[in-house]
Amino acid sequence: MSWLQDLAWPWLLLALPLPWLLRRLLPPVATGAALRVPWADRLDTGGGAAAMRRGGRGGLRLWLAAVAWACLCVAAARPQALGEAVQPPQAGRDLMLAVDLSGSMAEEDMLLGNRVVDRLTAAKAVIADFLDRRGGDRVGLLVFGRRAYAVAPLTLDRDSVREQLMTSVVGLAGRETAIGDAIGLAVKRLRGQPEGQRVLILLTDGVNTAGLLEPLKAAELARDAGVRVHTIAFGGAGGAMQSPFGFRLPGPVEEIDEDTLQRIADMTGGRMFRGRDTGELAGIYAEIDRLEPVERPAEAVRPRIERYHVPLAWALGLALLAWMPWPRRRRGPMEAAG
């Protein structure tokens, strides 16, 4: 009975004997004559089974209705056919984003549009645009301050990653910076991914001031696990901040450990970038798009093609044929005289 494998819901075939069971189990309808007329014997056609045995129009109607019910049950079971095998193309990358939420990310020295915003707001805008271009990629998100926390696992649901990013606030993970712990947590999350596709993009605006793991020791763990780490040093340059009019104003002195971030990238086979404004940061993520093109062919699949419309059309046609008014056969002179 291999044909049952072509039905999505074969258990619905159990409804085939339902009309017969209802007729057998339900009490019979009273058939006493309420009105006696001379031609009453002509109206007495007997039960459905008797009509089917005797044949004639009554029996034929019942046979048509029975076959229509069987076709309807088959249509409800959803017969399907396997189509030709196809292998849809798919370009995918597995990326973990690590975003610094330390206190210095609240520094308002970034120009976004025509207004000055804090570093985290500027980073969110650029990373959100980056996520919009990652169709078919799996992206995860972790945030770090005094500690590192994974807030979104690797997933194809970029909307959920974007939502977690947008709800993150400065100080959520503490106001210090644990770069080493962030790398260590990302390595743990990426360890189970296919080799060559383990990538971490780490954005920070400071130096390592907290955590249990030193950044260079974490870089060694990443190298041994085959995780490439791209580091982004983000923040205004040289103690200056952008003004709404495009020129720089004196600001707080920057403290970004670019040397350590460069060594982390070199040790793991990644790249180190310096982003001083939103324009440079957007260019960095565009460059990472170019650096991490992982072609991953999708598995060949045979699509299932629905065929329920064929038995459904038969059921409707037979039902209409069974219940449509048929022309009455003309009686001959001998039958009329009898």
CB atoms within 10 A of CB 139: 24
Least confident residue range of 111-115, 119-123, 177-181: 111-115
Together in a domain, 202 and 242: yes
pLDDT of 56 > 90? The answer is: no
Tell me: the pLDDT tens digits for 21-52? 887 787 765 555 555 545 445 444 445 555 45
Cα–Cα distances in angstroms (integers) from residue 11 to residues 42, 44, 297, in the given order: 43, 38, 36
Q: Which two tokens stand for residue 282?
A: 């957007």
Per-residue pLDDT averaged across 115-126, rounded? 90
Together in a domain, 150 and 1: no
Q: Which two tokens stand for residue 10?
A: 């074969």
Together in a domain, 274 and 209: yes
Rounded CA-CA distance 150/153 in Å is 7
Residue 253: the pLDDT is: 46
Together in a domain, 139 and 8: no
Together in a domain, 216 and 276: yes
CB atoms within 10 A of CB 193: 19
Does 43 reside within a domain? no
Per-residue pLDDT averaged across 61-72, rounded? 85
Residue 30: the pLDDT is: 55
Does 35 reside within a domain? no
CATH number where 196 lies: 3.40.50.410
The residue range of the domain holding 308 is: 1-21+48-85+303-326
Neighbouring residues of 294: CB distance < 8 A, sequence distance ≥ 6: 91, 92, 93, 94, 196, 197
Q: How many domains, the chain? A: 2
Confidence of residue 250 (pLDDT cuts 50, 70, 90): very low
Residue 184: the pLDDT is: 95
Per-residue pLDDT averaged across 62-76, rounded? 86
Residue 3: the pLDDT is: 53
Residue 151: the pLDDT is: 94
Tell me: the pLDDT tens digits for 287-327? 887 877 655 555 666 777 888 888 888 888 888 887 777 66
